[in-house]
A = this chain, B = another copy of it.
Amino acid sequence: MTNKISMANNIISCLHCKNKSSCFEKLSDEELQFMNNHRVEIKFKKGEIICKQGSMASNIMYLKNGLAKLYFEKNKQKNLILRIISTGSMFALPSISNNILYYSAMSYEDSHVCMIDIDVFKNVMNNNAKFASEVVDIINENTIQGYERMYCLTQNHLSGRMANILLCLSENIYKNDAFELQLSRRDIAELTNMSVESVTRILRGFKDENLIELNGKHLKIMSRENLSKICEVG
């Protein structure tokens, strides 16, 4: 079975994994082992599709490391990025309540994903209230993040949205003022819901005003305060 092939990579059991999601702290050793027995770990290369909207929801996912986008596809129009996830994020959680996967995921860089059998996950959740409560917390956090994103995309102008994304990348993803921006202009356009040309123009504007330094892929936030201000004003 695929299970066997993939299990070859699973040197570390969930029991001893240091990187597991906080909710798993609430599980007994038996429950953890049970999860571990119904879990595979898969490596995705940059740009590969991790899961596809509309397919049967058979796993709960965990990004053990890497960077990826969760996005919503509809018609032939452009996609909407719902969330970017980095190391340590659970995703596909709506699948718990829905047989069909609600969004697609694609890796921005090489990533390792743990996939846990959804029935096993549900089973544990239905028998361990503390675990289920932790799951509620995780979903709630995602909900709030989603609302923030909705606010930003609908109420802010181009520069506000760009400032928001740059700060978000710096604070939540790369955790540094300076970072190598892996994302293409197209990726940023998708994230900020603007055209590629506008991305260029806005970034150039930020550069001209010394809000950022930008050389090739290397980006450095020069004035966090001013960017925040732009973000607030719109």
From residue A165, how far is it (CB to closest CB) to chain B in Å? 14
From residue A133, how far is it (CB to closest CB) to chain B in Å? 5
Taken together as a complex, chains A and B put the C-alpha atoms of A133 and B77 apart, in Å, by 35
Measured as residues with beta carbon below 8 angstroms from the partner, the interface class of chain A is 35 or more
Annotate A119-152 by CB proximity to B: 1 below 8 A, 0 otherwise.
0001001111111110111011111101101110
Pairwise interchain contact B127-A77, C-beta atoms closer than 8 A: no
Q: A92-100, A106-114, A174-182: which one contacts chain B?
A: A92-100
Annotate A62-85 by CB proximity to B: 1 below 8 A, 0 otherwise.
000000000010110110101000
Pairwise interchain contact A94-B144, C-beta atoms closer than 8 A: yes
Closest chain B residue to A139 by CB distance? B139
Answer yes or no: A206 CB below 8 A from chain B CBs.
Answer: no
Point out the residues of chain B lying under 8 angstroms from A136, CB to CB: 96-97, 125, 132, 135-136, 139
A-to-B contact residues, CB < 8 Å: 72, 74-75, 77-78, 80, 82, 93-94, 96-98, 102-103, 122, 125-133, 135-137, 139-144, 146-147, 149-151, 153-155, 193, 232-234
Taken together as a complex, chains A and B put the C-alpha atoms of A29 and B147 apart, in Å, by 36
Known: A143-B142, A143-B146, A147-B72. A155 touches B97 (CB 8 A): no
Nearest 3 Cβ contacts at the A-B interface: A132-B132, A97-B140, A129-B129
Known: A125-B129, A150-B154. 12 other contacts (CB 8 A): A74-B155, A75-B233, A77-B155, A80-B150, A82-B150, A97-B137, A98-B140, A122-B133, A132-B135, A139-B143, A143-B143, A146-B146
Point out the residues of chain B lying under 8 angstroms from A233, CB to CB: 75
